[in-house]
Structure 1
Amino acid sequence: MSINKLNQFLANTYENFPKGRFISLVVLRKTLSETIFRTEGSGEPICSEFVQAGVTETKVIQRLVMTKRKQVAPERRYGREHLRAHQLLHISKDSSLCSLNTNSPCEMCIDCFLYGFAAGGGGAQKSRIWTEDAFSLLAASDVLGDRTINAIFENGTMRDQNGNASTALNTSEYIKPEVHFLDVVTLKDVTADELRYIIGNILLTTRYGAVSSRVGRMENQILGVFGSITELPSSLELVQAVYDALPKPLEHPFNSDVLIGKTKEVLYNWKNKRGVSLHLSQDELSALIADVDNSWSEDERDNFLKRLNQSYEPFRQVSAESKKGKGKGKKTAVEAEA
């Protein structure tokens, strides 16, 4: 099983104190429908930044940005759906079931231990999934479109029964289908089952961005897995290196297989980067993904999630004893290294 190749970078069990073990995932994210990434409400522009086109190509272009929160939030919610389905979410301090954005996390579930939390009473757990902005390969001007949005009445027209025209008319930017984003996700001091859980969340999440019930379909593919004692180069450095390697001119849409091939050529050279000591081969990567698929399968998912949940039990007991013995205002063992 190829996950054993990563043993030197995996923790045997959850630990409060970091030990400098990094596993990095290189992820290709490809839009399969119109998609919207923005930080504010309807009518706001799509997230973008002006950056250098490549490492050697020094011209400045405007690239689309898939912000870190736009990546993590849907993947985290996907995992929590299954924790909820298998009764693995815990009761929070206000006696409600653990949920996001309520200022009252349970501090004891798989999601809290992995993705972190910040409680209003002062407790906190730092996330062990490090993300950064993912950048589009092509310039924003090549992959953006405009869509006029209107709301018709039940009679099928833009006028109501009294003849009044609808005011629900708006023009909004969207990202075209088949746009590629490259991303580096860094995992710090995770166990083998935590790695399976995180990769499963990435590969099985399919909707991102605004209006995700209508648009935002996306496919994620892991192109490389590294073990190291430090972070890999950034997502921006990756997309710039791949941009230099691709044959020009680049036009949308372009062949994903060509992009994947050039990206893997760039990643092959990363095994010589400072601090990197392991790069899974293609066969080893395929075996790792097969292992993850098996853990998330219908037959194995319940056992897998309950096994991962049980691994945190000693730390939940320490936390409960700390609260009982020291009273309010004291940090628990889980919170100590936040």
Structure 2
Amino acid sequence: MSLTYPETGLVDSFEIYRTQKPSVTLVVEREITEPTLFRNSNNDRAETQQFGDQLHAQVNGEKFTSKERLTGLDLLRSLDDELVDDEYTYNEPASLEESINVGTLTYGLAGTGDQDFAIKSRVIEGYTYTTDEYDLMNKETRNAVYESGTMRTDENEQSEALFDYVKVQPGNSLVHFITLEAATGPMLLYALHNVLNTGRYGARETRTGRNVRNEVRAVILGGHDTSLSTGELLMEYHENEACIGESIADYIEAVRRTDWEVYGEFEGADDFPEWYENLEAVAARETDDADDVLREEFDRLTEAAIDVFTDDD
């Protein structure tokens, strides 16, 4: 399948310094399918935010993006060894040259230790909040079990160690606005792949199966910033027990600007165009040639970035 990209919202080629900042916003609903723990400074529960008379869990967008970055890095390594340098380690870059890959070009990177370099992120993701109530009284208690399979030690002493977690429960969801600023087509493809193919989030996610199902409810293209706010959506456009899809539609229509192109399955939006449907099919790896297309698109971006950084030096 040959992909095409829209003329609005993206840049034609990779550049370090961005004089123009068109943007694409993915409106993602993250549906909770299993009890999920989003920790903050209190390791037993999420941060909270009050909207009206309800308490909502507040989640830093990086808690989602960090898991999605790992999904993308795994994809790059599986597609082609040359897409990621053998010396590159997530969040522990050795040098700029070894760190150039689609993941760092899309999500950014800062050199650590003695390294003095940075790749600016093209992805902007703000805080998000549960659309329904977060019940602090709904605690899940876990026991500290020993090797014997019981709460008794080898000396037959009874353990009293209990852990209480306040998880976001199935049936709840979060609306997350993910904006790509001055991104290329392959960056959008990469970010979309990571959203559609990541299903485990939160603390202790290695001890559970898929706990979140992501769905792109809308795509917004603009010649300038198209960032939206989940807090604004919930405070001003979403009533308790209301349909979140209708609230999203009302919010977008209220803040919409003349340079926006809005696509989605709700009133006021245009139907998803063919270029997006093809993009999503490849990103979700639903087509027979998806891996070939992904490899070709990512290789093209990587080579272009290497040329730019080399010329810049």
The two structures have a TM-score, normalised by structure 2, of: 0.84
Match of 1:6 in 2: 6
Instruction: Give 5+ residue unaligned stretches, structure 2.
Output: none
Range that drifts further, 209-218 or 26-35 = 209-218
**How does 1:81-96 map onto structure 2 within 5 Å?**
81-86=74-79, 87-91=81-85
Match of 2:100 in 1: 108
Range that drifts further, 180-189 or 229-238 = 229-238
**How does 1:1-338 map onto structure 2 within 5 Å?**
6-18=6-18, 19-40=20-41, 42-43=43-44, 45-50=45-50, 53=51, 59=52, 61-86=54-79, 87-91=81-85, 97-104=87-94, 106-120=98-112, 121-141=115-135, 145-215=138-208, 217-228=211-222, 229-244=224-239, 250=241, 258-270=243-255, 273-274=256-257, 276-282=259-265, 284-285=271-272, 287=274, 288-295=276-283, 296-297=285-286, 299-320=289-310, 332=313
Aligned AA (1:118): A
Instruction: Give 5+ residue unaligned stretches, structure 1.
Output: 54-58, 323-331, 333-338
If you compute each CA radius of gyration, which structure gives the higher value, 1 or 2?
1
Name the CA distance, whole Å, in 1 between partners of 2:174 and 2:144. Answer: 32
| Pair 241,163 (structure 1): closer, same or farther in 2 beyond 3 Å | same
The count of corresponding residues between Structure 1 and Structure 2 is 297
Alpha carbons 1:63, 1:139 under 8 Å: kept: yes
| Pair 156,4 (structure 1): closer, same or farther in 2 beyond 3 Å | closer
Alpha carbons 1:25, 1:185 under 8 Å: kept: yes
Q: CA RMSD in A?
A: 2.7
Alpha carbons 1:224, 1:264 under 8 Å: kept: no
Name the CA distance, whole Å, in 1 between partners of 2:100 and 2:218. Answer: 31
Alpha carbons 1:10, 1:21 under 8 Å: kept: yes
Report sequence identity in percent: 21
| Pair 41,234 (structure 1): closer, same or farther in 2 beyond 3 Å | closer
| Pair 11,154 (structure 1): closer, same or farther in 2 beyond 3 Å | same
**Secondary structure at the counterpart of residue 221 of structure 1:** strand
**Secondary structure at the counterpart of residue 193 of structure 2:** helix
TM-superposed CA distance for 1:205, in Å, is 0.7
The two structures have a TM-score, normalised by structure 1, of: 0.78
Name the CA distance, whole Å, in 1 between partners of 2:171 and 2:300. Answer: 41
| Residues 55-92 of structure 1 deviation map (CA, whole Å, 9 limit, x = unaligned) | xxxx464321121211110111101001111224433x
Match of 1:335 in 2: none
